[in-house]
Amino acid sequence: MLLRQTTRALRAASQLRLSPIVRMQSNEATTHFGFKTVKEEEKEQLVGSVFRNVASKYDVMNDFMSAGVHRLWKDHLISVLNPSKETKLLDVAGGTGDIAFRFLDHCKKAYGADSEASVTVVDINPAMLEVGMQRSKAMGYSDSGKISFQEGNAENLSNIPDASVDAYTIAFGIRNCTHVDRVVAEAYRVLKPGGRFTVLEFGQVENPLVKGIYDIYSFQVIPKLGQVVAGDAESYQYLVESIRKFPPQPKFAQMIKDAGFTLVGKGWEDLTFGVAAIHTGFKL
């Protein structure tokens, strides 16, 4: 009797393991949303909700969080990019226009009326794009023919033809994408031969003392600032967690190289002890 019951139990367990429902659940692709594990198809919606919530206060919060240092990082990005008077830039995840306007201002200052430089801003979030378009109008760029805004996914830039842009920038946006490797591959596709891929993103701090201070500030102060300034602590809790989940500088540089880009030197420049970094690859 005991042997018969044991056999039935083993058979039932075997059938359970082979159940299509169980297999589906165990094979579901997952990713991270901050420190949480979520289904891949859910992340885009969750990230979209974060940026929809913070769009109107996004630039103000950047000033509060970094004490204005993010402006210096972005200015340095444009210096590193060193655009020509004819550069056609694609700025991805740049809805509010922070990089795009710096780019246009730089070209206007450097080349004056001779500048033929232009920028296309792509962002997946309509609320962020709306902020950028309002700023563009206020700055007098909306009717210049030098800037356009498109809603689009960095992982599939279906509206951007192959080998059609001279430079591609993405600032503080790539870590929010579900498949970072697909973003890098799309950048390679849309760039012309000789084109430059430039990423400004938060990095991993190696100095133990700086890291300790940075971690305390990130987890204890930034969410509280988010609550006070933007009325949203949870979104900023996600943002600081997402920084820790993004690949460290050497690993991300290798991803860029694996996509076909040629690195210069080690492939990145640390900013402010590695709190942020600029990664560069050329399509040769």
Mean predicted lDDT score pLDDT of the chain: 88
For residue 249, give its domain range. Answer: 44-282
Q: 152: closest CA among 191, 184, 121, 192?
A: 121
Q: Say which CATH number the domain at 278 has.
A: 3.40.50.150
3-class SS of residue 158: coil
Mark the binding-site residues, compressed into ranges: 96, 123, 153-154
Average pLDDT over residues 46-55: 75
Q: Is 76 among the domain residues?
A: yes
Work out the percent of the chain whose per-residue pLDDT is above 90.
Answer: 72
Q: Is 215 among the domain residues?
A: yes
Check: CB of residue 283 under 8 Å from CB of residue 191.
yes
Q: Is 8 among the domain residues?
A: no
Task: Write out the two tokens for 176.
Answer: 């929010």
Alpha helices, DSSP H only, in the chain? 2-17, 20-27, 40-54, 58-66, 69-81, 98-111, 126-138, 180-190, 208-216, 222-225, 233-245, 249-258
User: CB neighbours (10 Å) of residue 46?
Assistant: 15
Q: Is 21 among the domain residues?
A: no
Average pLDDT over residues 163-181: 96
pLDDT for residue 145: 92
Mark the binding-site residues for S-adenosyl-L-methionine, compressed into ranges: 96, 123, 153-154
Question: Between 53 and 123, whose confidence is greater?
Answer: 123
Distances (CA, A) of 233 to 34, 146, 226, 240: 14, 36, 5, 11
Confidence band (pLDDT; 50, 70, 90) for 5? very low
pLDDT for residue 16: 38
- Answer whether residue 34 shows pLDDT above 50: yes
Q: Is 68 among the domain residues?
A: yes
pLDDT for residue 111: 97
Average pLDDT over residues 180-184: 97
Q: Is 81 among the domain residues?
A: yes
Per-state percent for the chain, helix, strand, coil, to nearest 5: 55, 20, 25
- Answer whether residue 10 shows pLDDT above 70: no
Q: Is 7 among the domain residues?
A: no
Q: Is 42 exposed, middle or buried (0-12, 13-18, 19+ CB in 10 A)?
A: middle
DSSP state of 221: I
Structural domain total, the chain: 1
Q: Is 11 among the domain residues?
A: no
Which range (27-41, 56-70, 223-237) has the least confidence?
Answer: 27-41
